[in-house]
Amino acid sequence: MSFCNKCGNSCSQSSNQNPVVYQNQGYNNYQNTGYNVQKQPGEGKAVAAIICGAVAFMMPIPVLDVIAGIIGVILAIVAGNEGCNSGTRTAGLIISIVGILSALLFNIYVFFIGAGVLSFLSAF
């Protein structure tokens, strides 16, 4: 089958135009040209550590926020033991530690506020 050089339409061999025969040049063969990202072992645990640290930092429920932070630290350490030495693991560890500290401060604050309110109410 012949094709026109200018427009690409099929033409007959008897026309005055110079026919060009196109062959399959591989344009229809899909090749994956995207990035082949290989995750490090423990990368999922590192992301879970970030999530647990954020939950510990923002959870207003006493004791559960400290538990979420401890779980985040454990997940970050396990991810490091599995070979994940990326910034994700480090961020999960730091956010979990900060979450534990803020949760402890929040729990102490709530305890003293609660004790103060009870002592104030018992005075009446």
Give the 3-state secondary structure of residue 62: coil
> Both ends of the chain: CA-CA distance in Å?
103
2-16, 21-35, 89-103, range with greatest mean pLDDT? 89-103
Query: What's the pLDDT score for residue 69?
Result: 93
pTM (global) more than 0.75 = no
Average pLDDT over residues 99-109: 89
- What mean pLDDT, rounded, does the chain reach? 78
Residues forming a β-bridge with 2: 11
How many C-beta atoms lie closer than 10 Å to residue 44's C-beta? Answer: 15
Residue 37 — left, alpha, or beta (φ > 0 → left; ψ -120 to 50 → alpha)? beta
pLDDT digits 0-9 by tens, 11-61: 665 555 555 555 555 555 555 556 666 677 888 899 999 999 999 988 888
Dihedral angle over CA of 78, 83, 88, 93, nearest 10: 30
Give the 3-state secondary structure of residue 8: coil
Residue 115 has pLDDT above 60, yes or no: yes
Query: What's the pLDDT score for residue 119?
Result: 73
Query: What's the pLDDT score for residue 96?
Result: 94
